[in-house]
Structure formats: structure tokens, C-alpha cells
Amino acid sequence: MTASRHILAIDQGTTSSRSLVFAPDLTVVASASEELPQHYPAAGQVEQEAGDIWRTALATARAALKAAGLHGRDIAALGIANQRETTLIWDRRTGVPIHRAIVWQDRRAAPLCSRLEAGGHGPMVRARTGLVLDAYFSAPKIAWLLENVPGARRRAHDGDLAFGTVDSWLVWQLTGGRVHVTDATNAARTLLFDIHRGDWDDDLLALFGIPRALMPAVKDSAAEFGLTDPALFGAPVPIRGIAGDQQAAMVGQACFGPGMVKATYGTGCFALLHTGGHVVRSQHRLLSTVALQLGGQRTYALEGAIFVAGAAVQWLRDGLGLIASAAETGALAAAADPAQEVILVPAFVGLPAPHWNPDVRGALFGLTRGTGRAEIARAALESVCFQTADLMEAMRADWAHEGGAETILRVDGGMSASDFTMQRLADFLDAPVDRPTQMETTVLGAAYLAGLQAGLLPDPAGFAQAWRRERRFVPEMAAGERHRRLAGWRAAVGRLVHTP
């Protein structure tokens, strides 16, 4: 083994950029991270500076290499995992963005989606993309930019502009503007990609008024995406793996087989159930999406999204000032009065699957004069578990309809480190929850894809054999209490969903 067999992986997330250097056996050699500033120009709007995305990704990659004592010439492959759906458009000649990046959480394009849905376009969109007409995805954001940035539509039609999700933006920057590309997992999150044919769809592009000239080329998740500019790391580094963060985590959790489920708890939570080479059409408003594309062959997943998971804990800290750090929350929740069943519905930006209601807003139920920090902290953590229970119930129903069997849930992401939260999750799911020894599953997935393309790592079956469990959480809550608590949660959600 030589130093040239190391892998560099960038995890460009919603609230931070992180980079890790992996040895040939995928042990972590060094890492670096940096927070990513967020901007909230108006209610329901979330933006990031494209320059900050690039700056933090590059800075952490360089810092990780320095900490590892390595240089660009020592890296055999670079992998990228990225926040999905976040939308950027930039000038192909200058590389200058026409607007801040519009983040996946942003709701400004919801009126457009409502008009298209009312116009009867929803069934066609869902049939081809596996998604629902919602401002969460990239196409409505692109349409908003073309409509609201002066001259953008003309420049787009003239071929002067480039659209990309965050992976495309990073590859463009890393290659000095030579490569405009994405992978199938990110393309599948735009509302513009036919997941059956594996290509941009002309009818969908026309529906949103988006010229094909704006779009990147689509490749496998493990492929040759280009060489980095030699000036960045002292030598050109081949970019060989790209996946949206949730699909990257699915890879990192070795969920390659049909029926395997992973849930990643970051700012939001995203649960994916692998459905193999078959697109499952959900009967419960879940999404069908690309799990991975290797060797030109796509596999698929059912996905459910929770927009507010770790963000609920951030709200406790930054919005309410109830805690100084996220680490306090578990102990605080464990000390809460069990007689007070406070329920938080954290619909700060609407409710995603299985409700897909952008107009609902959050609420606290069950407050008494005795309610304090501990009870609200517990409600925030339990809200994530309740939402996961709704997703898993929908997934189980869709998968059972396809003849699938039950599986154990594999978890990762920041909140999965909370024993209190994971135990509550097992209780409300009435099913085991497995936490892996390697918690860096998202960036691990990106590293694996890059290493696979470089010929350094085994095929998916071989990689799966190396997965290890750190702890299994098993249900402890009595059935009666579980049913009562879930009924209370669903009644609270129902009040908000059905309020005029």
C-alpha cells in the first residue's frame, strides 16, 4: 500500500462543509470542517452564497490533506456528497453566479407548483420523476431564477448560463470551469429527470420553461468526472465519485439490497428503502427516486423526508435559547416530567411526506403551567421519532404491497448519537434500530464510490461485508403507551393539516 491509494471525500452539507481523508482500508486519516453561513431574506426563503459553498469545501479539503500530511499527488480519487436540490445558476464564461444559491428548504416557488398541480400536470410529473410537484425540488427554483433575475431567461436560451446542484457547482470550480456534470442521484432530485429512461425530459423542461442548454451532463455515481485544477492541491486529482448526500449515506450504510432501510438525521431526516431495479409507485405519497447508478444500471428507492430534525434542536438553542449546545438535549429530555406529554409539530417550513402540505406551520400542544425546558426538549426529540414513525408506516405499507419483508432500520447523522432519541425511535417504531460503528456514513459513501471507480475497493457485496453495528436499540415501551402516544401525535398533526 502506498500513499497514492488514499481517497479524499468532501461532504458539502446544508449547514457545513466537511472533508475527510481515508486510507486504502477506509479508516479515517484526517478531517476538517467549517460552518456554512445561511441567509434568510424573507419568510420561507433560505439562501447560501455560492462562493461560501466553494470556499468552505476547498478550505476543508486542503485542511484535511494538510492534517494527513498528504498532497494532491498522494490522492487516487476524490468523492463528493452534497446537499441535494439546492439550486445554482452561473455564467459559463466568468463562473459568476447570477443569484445566491436557493436552498432545498426554500418555499418561494410554492405558488408555481400549486398552479402546475391545479393545471393537471402532477400525474405526468410523478410518473416520470417519481417525485411530487413541490418547491422542495430544483426545477421550480430554476424557473423562479429565470423569471426574476433580469436577463436570465435570454442568457439561458443563448447557452450562456449553467445550472447545477451543489455537486455540479463544486466540480465546475474544482476543474477550473472545464466540466459541467452531475450524477444520476442528483439529477433525480430536480423534477426534470426521467428516472426510467435516465435522461433529462423535454416535456418537463418545457413545463418549467427551462432550456436544455442549461443542464449538465448526467453520469454514473462512480465515474470519471474530470481532473481538479493542479493549482488547488499541487497536482491534478481525479474526481471519481458523486452522490447526493442521502444516497451517499445509503451507500455508506451498505444498504445495497432490496428492503434495506437507512435514515439519516441531520438538519432534516431522510429515510430511504432500497427497492432494487424496480421503481415502486408509492400509494402513500412517498417519493420514488434513484438509489444509485453504476455501470449504466440504475437501482431505486422509496424515500420519505422530514424537513425539520436536527433543525428542531437548533431552534431550541438559537431560537428559544433553552440550551447552550445540542449535546444537552438528551439528558434534559430524559429528566422531563413523564406526566406531561407535550407534543411539538415542527412544521416550520410545512410538512413533507406523507402529507406534502407547504402551508402548515408548527405548533406546541399540551402545555401546562408546569411545562419547562425539559418537556420542550423532549418534545423536540420525540417529534423526530414521531415523524419517522409516519414515514416507516407508509414505507412498510408500500413495500408489503410489493411483496417485501420487514427489515431493521440503520441510522446515521448527528442525532443518531443521542441514545435517548434512538431508544424513543425504536419504541415508537416497535422495531430494532441499528447504529453503525462508522458514523461518517455520508462521506464514507462518497469515498467508497470514488475508490470503487479507482479500482481500490471491492464491489458493493464485498463492501457490505465490512459494515459493523455499534449498538442495536430494541423496543422497550409498552404497546398501549406506544399506541396512545402515536395517536396523540397524529391528532396534533391532524389539527394543523385540517385547520382552514
Q: Which CATH number goes with the domain that contains 39? A: 3.30.420.40
Specify the pairing of strand 16-22 against strand 6-12: antiparallel
Q: Which of 120, 148, 115 is nearest to 134 (CA)?
A: 115
- Same structural domain, 153 and 297: no
In a domain, 97, yes or no: yes
- Same structural domain, 230 and 288: no
- Same structural domain, 220 and 258: no
Q: Is the bond leading into 41 cis (omega within 30 degrees of zero)?
A: no
- Same structural domain, 88 and 215: yes
49 in helix, strand or coil?
Answer: coil
C-alpha cell at 500: 382552514
- Same structural domain, 211 and 287: no
Q: Which of 45, 200, 205, 81 is nearest to 139 (CA)?
A: 205
- Same structural domain, 227 and 272: no
**Count, residues in the chain:** 500
Phi then psi dihedrals of residue 490, to 5 deg: -70, -30
- Same structural domain, 91 and 196: yes
| Rounded CA separation 412/391 (Å) | 16
Helix 110-118 vs helix 122-129: angle between axes, to the nearest 10 degrees? 110
- Same structural domain, 236 and 268: no
333: domain range? 254-436+468-500
- Same structural domain, 238 and 274: no
User: Would you give the distance in Å from CA 111 to the centre of its chain?
Assistant: 24
- Same structural domain, 283 and 166: no
Contacts (Cβ under 8 Å, ≥6 apart) of 123: none
Domain boundary among 222, 246, 270: 246
In a domain, 314, yes or no: yes
- Same structural domain, 27 and 154: yes
User: DSSP assignment, residue 196?
Assistant: T
pLDDT tens over the chain, length 500 residues: 344 689 999 999 988 999 999 998 898 999 999 999 989 999 889 999 999 999 999 999 999 999 999 999 999 999 999 999 999 999 999 999 999 999 988 989 999 999 999 999 999 999 999 999 989 899 999 999 999 999 999 999 999 999 999 999 999 999 999 999 999 999 999 999 999 999 999 999 999 999 999 999 999 999 999 999 999 999 999 999 999 999 999 999 999 988 889 998 888 888 999 999 989 888 888 899 999 999 999 999 999 888 888 888 888 898 888 888 888 888 888 888 888 889 999 888 777 767 777 778 888 998 899 888 888 989 999 999 999 998 888 888 888 755 555 667 899 888 888 899 999 999 999 889 999 988 889 999 999 999 999 999 999 999 998 888 999 999 999 999 999 999 999 999 888 887 65
Domain boundary among 246, 278, 307: 246
- Same structural domain, 391 and 363: yes
How many structural domains is the chain composed of?
2
In a domain, 454, yes or no: no
In a domain, 456, yes or no: no
In a domain, 446, yes or no: no
In a domain, 478, yes or no: yes
In a domain, 462, yes or no: no
Q: What is the pLDDT of residue 3?
A: 47
In a domain, 445, yes or no: no
Domain boundary among 246, 267, 299: 246
Q: Which of 261, 309, 259, 291 is nearest to 433 (CA)?
A: 261
